[in-house]
């Protein structure tokens, strides 16, 4: 199922290697364009909602009004998580990493879905709806549990973004922040064959169930070079602490040849189109909170990195300060990424199931040959 865009079958990190044909999304790294099922991300962020984008990713078209209402109702009636899962979460160590908790609880959801192992379109779609609806509940529930607070019951009258913020805070979000979170979910929903999405397709290609494939995707997303990068960005900003410290901090990083998180991308050679929106949100949250420090630090760091290295910010760079000014704990940034990316993961899993072929690439062997076994006494 694979071809190559370059002459090297063993390209480092599989750069340029085509591992699947897909209609779900495409990244034009040269021109900085991201599309979902043919629609430009800017068009969707401006006009759409997360639920509508999920429908688009799964069905290759935008829904009609009645279809969207039914789709949203299917999500809202599946927000709630069984008490057995919540009770299990209460036994976890309170310092457990939220992504580890999410990985474990998503896997455990499988126990309570009688049809969750079906790889046919109907059963897999139902499981995808349940997973997408429950992921925000799991993340919000863990934040409450680890802080000794009661878990907030989901509100079926709210959309996914609003309901997540409500369950997290215990009060309904203001309209501007709810819309901001909704667009953040749209921006993170899919990104072609990134590491976690490729992982879900490999697992689904064995005809493993959707819960197993998504659990594997969460494990891949947790890595600091993937979904964990936005947390690292905010840790850097907290370390820098002031606009005046940005340049000396950066110079030291570059001198030591250390990676500056949130800058540069494996595919984009120009600005990540998602960063365009998140830069705006970081500024808006700075204005709203009356604290422009984090936005101004980010802006200066972005400019210096371009001047010194010709590199652009990616999706993680401004999402860090946006979430921070929303009052979201740093270690929830990656779980929020997962709440969104479940849309793309499940879309790719559904696509994989629809015309499945086991994904089994080869490795170029570069080790020794013709070695002879020697008895242990003579080694």
Question: Which H or E run contains 50?
Answer: helix 50-59
Could you give the CA distance from residue 230 to residue 241 in angstroms, rounded to a whole number? 17
Q: Which of 188, 191, 265, 348 is catalytic?
A: 265
Decide if 316 is catalytic.
yes
Q: How many helices (H) and strands (E) does the chain have?
A: 16, 5
Angstrom distance (rounded) from CA 142 to CA 340: 17
Which of the following is catalytic: 188, 272, 316, 348? 316
| DSSP3 helix / strand / coil % (the chain, rounded to 5) | 60, 5, 35
Q: Return all residues near 125 (Cβ < 8 A) that are at least 6 apart.
A: 58, 350
- Any idea what DSSP says for residue 10? T
Residues contacting residue 366 through CB under 8 Å, at least 6 positions apart? none
Q: How far apart are CA 324 and CA 250, in angstroms?
A: 21
| C-alpha–C-alpha distance, residues 199 and 214, integer Å | 9
Give the DSSP per-residue string, 233-288: HHHHHHHH-SGGGHHHHHHHHHHTT---TTB--SS-SS--HHHHHHHHHHHHHHHH
Q: List residues with catalytic annotation.
A: 265, 316
């Amino acid at each position: 199922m694979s071809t190559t865009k370059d002459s090297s079958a063993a390209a480092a990190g599989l750069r340029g290697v085509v591992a699947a044909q897909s209609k779900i999304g495409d990244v034009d790294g040269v021109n900085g364009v991201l599309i979902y099922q043919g629609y430009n991300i800017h068009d969707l962020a401006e006009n759409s909602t997360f639920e509508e984008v999920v429908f688009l990713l799964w069905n290759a078209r935008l829904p009609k009004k009645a279809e969207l209402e039914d789709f949203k109702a299917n999500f809202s009636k599946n927000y709630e998580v069984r008490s057995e899962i919540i009770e299990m979460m209460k036994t976890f160590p309170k310092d457990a990493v939220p992504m580890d908790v999410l990985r474990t609880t998503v896997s455990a959801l499988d126990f309570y879905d009688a049809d969750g192992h079906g790889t046919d379109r109907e059963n897999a779609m139902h499981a995808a709806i349940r997973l997408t609806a429950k992921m925000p509940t799991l993340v919000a529930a863990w934040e409450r549990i680890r802080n000794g607070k009661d878990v907030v019951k989901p509100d079926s009258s709210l959309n996914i973004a609003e309901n997540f913020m409500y369950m997290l805070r215990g009060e309904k979000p203001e309209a501007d922040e709810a819309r901001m979170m909704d667009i953040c979910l749209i921006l993170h929903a899919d990104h072609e064959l990134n590491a976690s999405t490729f992982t879900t397709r490999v697992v689904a290609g064995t005809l493993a169930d959707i819960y197993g494939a998504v659990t594997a995707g969460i494990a891949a997303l947790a890595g600091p070079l993937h979904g964990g990068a936005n947390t690292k960005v905010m840790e850097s900003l907290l370390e820098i602490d002031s606009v005046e410290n940005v340049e000396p901090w950066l110079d030291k990083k570059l001198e030591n040849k250390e990676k500056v998180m949130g800058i540069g991308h494996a595919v984009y050679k120009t600005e990540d189109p998602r960063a365009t929106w998140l830069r705006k949100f970081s500024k808006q949250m700075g204005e709203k909170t009356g604290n422009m420090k984090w936005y101004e630090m980010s802006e200066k760091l972005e400019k210096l990195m371009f001047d010194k290295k010709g590199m652009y910010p990616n999706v993680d760079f401004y999402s860090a300060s946006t979430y921070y000014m929303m009052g979201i704990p740093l270690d929830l940034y990656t779980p929020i990424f997962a709440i969104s990316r479940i849309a793309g993961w499940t879309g790719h899993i559904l696509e994989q199931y629809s015309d499945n072929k086991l994904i089994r690439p080869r490795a170029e062997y570069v080790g020794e040959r013709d070695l002879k076994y020697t008895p242990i006494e003579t080694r």
